[in-house]
């Protein structure tokens, strides 16, 4: 891929490298990814050769150390800092906030690096429940950016509007201290599940519990005999559990006599709609509408990665289905990262080209 040596980036909270990969496709030289999860290191480095993985706890990491480690300069107009902090505390689907409470201020740790380096451009992506009110961590972050002279654009948007084949609502922020900033224009045509997976896209039919030992990782979690019976009764192409909920042996006790609540649980994806948000639990049909549109199984690891727009050649290294699914579900979709990266390059070019 062609990489623009003039524009450089550092990917904070990089995980397995979805955002790094997408920025590289856009032509941006990603110097490093920073994350405190050692298990992501091999996946990141194998797929992003030349971008260094720094296994660091950002709350204890010093900006001067980063400058020394990768040679990044202060006041670099062509430097991009991306800070897509894990922020389950603000998630609209989170039910155990105490476990993630310590992570809610990570965006302010990211702020320390901005204060020190003053990069030309900033990217932030987060869960839709994050608040931009002034008394919130994100609100204080935006206020601080503006006080430093940054032009900030942000909104909660559904990534399906940018051609990502899933309904993935996220808070997205772009900022520049050099010029007015906007968000990329949305697209007219949405991508569907059919555009991404299925036999016609190279995904052979498989059964529950299939283990793919090849790098393609068309691996799928196993199912109990009861769950297979449930899926056989679930209509293809968007069906849900209402067809079997009233059956004594198959109905879920937690939903008996409660109407049609949480109807996505045990549901199938639709072929001709975007997938639901690919979470870290997409391998499990009991955690959302993660059943294949017609096969009696959950979607595979590779299908989840493809709906996240990782290329099929992207190699994931993990100790279990759960660990790899976590890498995939936590990632910024690479295609969305490419759109953001190209938008920044276009914005810079329209305001005098690359900065000296």
- HEC sequence for 1-52: CCCEEEEEEEEECCCCCHHHHHHHHCCEEEEEEEECCHHHHHHHHHHCCCCE
Which residues are annotated as catalytic? 87
Share of the chain above pLDDT 70, in %: 88
pLDDT of 221 reads 97
Sequence-ordered strand ranges (E) for 84-129: 121-126
Eight-state DSSP code of residue 260: S
Confidence band of 14 (pLDDT split at 50, 70, 90): very high
pLDDT of 353 reads 56
Using CA atoms, how far apart are residues 329 and 277, in angstroms rounded to an integer? Answer: 9
* Residue position matching structure tokens 């310590």: 102
Does residue 265 belong to any structural domain of this protein? Answer: no
pLDDT of 250 reads 81
Confidence band of 341 (pLDDT split at 50, 70, 90): very high
Q: What is the mean pLDDT of residues 145-172?
A: 96
pLDDT of 194 reads 98
Tens digit of pLDDT for each residue in 210-247? 999 999 999 999 999 999 999 999 999 999 988 877 78
Does residue 92 belong to any structural domain of this protein? Answer: yes
pLDDT of 253 reads 66
Q: At what angle do helices 334-350 and 18-25 cross, to 10 degrees?
A: 40
Lowest mean pLDDT across 117-131, 240-254, 259-273: 240-254
Adjacent-strand bridge partners of 32? 10, 52
Q: Are 189 and 162 in contact (CB under 8 A)?
A: no
Q: Which SS3 state, helix, strand or coil, does residue 91 take?
A: coil
- pLDDT for residue 265 is more than 90: no
Confidence band of 137 (pLDDT split at 50, 70, 90): confident
Task: Please give the residue that has the higher pLDDT: either 1 or 83.
Answer: 83
CATH code of the domain covering residue 123: 3.40.50.150
Total-model pTM: 0.91
Q: Interior CA angle at 100 toward 43 and 303, to 5°?
A: 40
* Residue position matching structure tokens 């790094």: 20
Share of the chain above pLDDT 90, in %: 76
Does residue 315 belong to any structural domain of this protein? Answer: no
Enclosing domain of residue 175: 4-190+331-350
Please count the other Cβ atoms lying within 10 Å of the Cβ belonging to residue 55.
14
pLDDT of 246 reads 76
Q: What is the mean pLDDT of residues 116-130?
A: 90
Does residue 133 belong to any structural domain of this protein? Answer: yes
* Residue position matching structure tokens 């040679």: 71
H helices, E strands: number in the chain: 10, 7
Lowest mean pLDDT across 45-54, 84-93, 98-107, 306-315: 84-93
pLDDT of 100 reads 44
DSSP assignment string, 129-142: T---STTSHHHHHH
Do β-strands 151-158 and 121-126 pair in parallel, antiparallel, or remain unpaired?
A: unpaired
Does residue 254 belong to any structural domain of this protein? Answer: no
pLDDT of 261 reads 57
Q: Are 178 and 207 in contact (CB under 8 A)?
A: no
Average of per-residue pLDDT values in the chain: 90
Does residue 207 belong to any structural domain of this protein? Answer: no
Task: Please give the residue that has the higher pLDDT: either 326 or 3.
Answer: 326
> What separation in angstroms does the CA of 143 have from each of 20, 87, 109, 139, 253?
27, 19, 15, 6, 48
Q: What is the mean pLDDT of residues 200-213?
A: 97
- pLDDT for residue 268 is more than 70: yes
Using CA atoms, how far apart are residues 230 and 241, in angstroms rounded to an integer? Answer: 8
- pLDDT for residue 133 is more than 80: no
CB under 8 Å to 122, separation ≥6 — which residues? 80, 81, 82, 83, 114, 145, 150, 173, 174, 175, 176
CB under 8 Å to 313, separation ≥6 — which residues? none
Tens digit of pLDDT for each residue in 65-76? 999 999 999 999
Task: Please give the residue that has the higher pLDDT: either 89 or 172.
Answer: 172
Helix (H) or strand (E) holding 158: strand 151-158
CB under 8 Å to 165, separation ≥6 — which residues? 190, 191, 192, 193, 195, 196, 274, 275, 307, 309
Tens digit of pLDDT for each residue in 36-79? 999 999 999 999 999 999 999 999 999 999 999 999 999 999 99
- pLDDT for residue 209 is more than 70: yes
Confidence band of 87 (pLDDT split at 50, 70, 90): low
How many domains does the chain contain in total?
Answer: 1
pLDDT of 262 reads 61
Q: What is the mean pLDDT of residues 296-322?
A: 98
Does residue 129 belong to any structural domain of this protein? Answer: yes
- pLDDT for residue 165 is more than 90: yes
Using CA atoms, how far apart are residues 32 and 53, in angstroms rounded to an integer? Answer: 6
Please count the other Cβ atoms lying within 10 Å of the Cβ belonging to residue 169.
16
> What separation in angstroms does the CA of 350 have from each of 24, 60, 175?
21, 38, 16
Does residue 21 belong to any structural domain of this protein? Answer: yes
């Amino acid at each position: 891929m062609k990489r623009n040596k003039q524009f450089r980036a550092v990917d904070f909270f990089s995980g397995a490298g979805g955002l790094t990969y997408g920025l590289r496709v856009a032509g941006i030289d990603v110097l490093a990814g920073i994350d405190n999860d050692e298990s992501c290191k091999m996946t990141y480095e194998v797929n992003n050769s030349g971008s260094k993985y720094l296994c660091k706890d950002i709350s204890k990491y010093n900006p001067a150390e980063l400058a020394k480690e990768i040679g990044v300069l202060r006041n670099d107009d062509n430097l991009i800092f991306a800070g897509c902090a894990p922020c389950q505390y603000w998630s609209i689907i989170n039910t155990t906030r105490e476990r993630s409470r310590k992570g809610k201020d990570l965006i302010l740790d990211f702020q320390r690096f901005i204060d020190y380096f003053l990069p030309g451009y900033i990217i932030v992506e987060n869960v839709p429940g994050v608040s931009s009110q002034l008394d919130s961590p994100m609100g204080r972050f935006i206020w601080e950016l503006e006080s430093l002279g940054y032009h900030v654009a942000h909104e909660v948007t559904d990534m399906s509007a940018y051609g990502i084949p899933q309904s993935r609502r996220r808070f997205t922020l772009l900022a520049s201290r050099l010029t007015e900033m906007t968000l990329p224009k949305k697209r007219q045509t949405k991508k569907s599940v059919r555009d991404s997976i299925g036999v016609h896209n190279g995904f052979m039919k498989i059964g529950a519990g299939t283990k793919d030992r090849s790098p393609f990782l068309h691996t799928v979690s196993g199912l109990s005999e009861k769950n297979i019976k449930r899926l056989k009764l679930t209509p293809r192409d968007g069906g849900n559990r209402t067809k079997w909920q009233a059956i004594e042996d198959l109905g879920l006790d937690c939903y008996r006599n409660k109407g049609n609540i949480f109807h996505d649980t045990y549901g199938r994806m639709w072929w001709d709609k975007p997938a639901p948000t690919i979470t870290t639990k997409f391998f499990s049909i009991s955690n959302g509408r993660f059943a294949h549109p017609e096969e009696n199984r959950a979607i595979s690891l590779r299908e989840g990665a493809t709906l996240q727009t990782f290329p099929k050649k992207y190699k994931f290294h993990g100790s279990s289905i759960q660990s790899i699914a976590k890498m995939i579900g936590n990632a910024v979709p690479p295609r969305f990262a490419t759109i953001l990266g190209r938008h920044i390059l276009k914005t810079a070019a329209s305001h005098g080209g690359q900065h000296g």
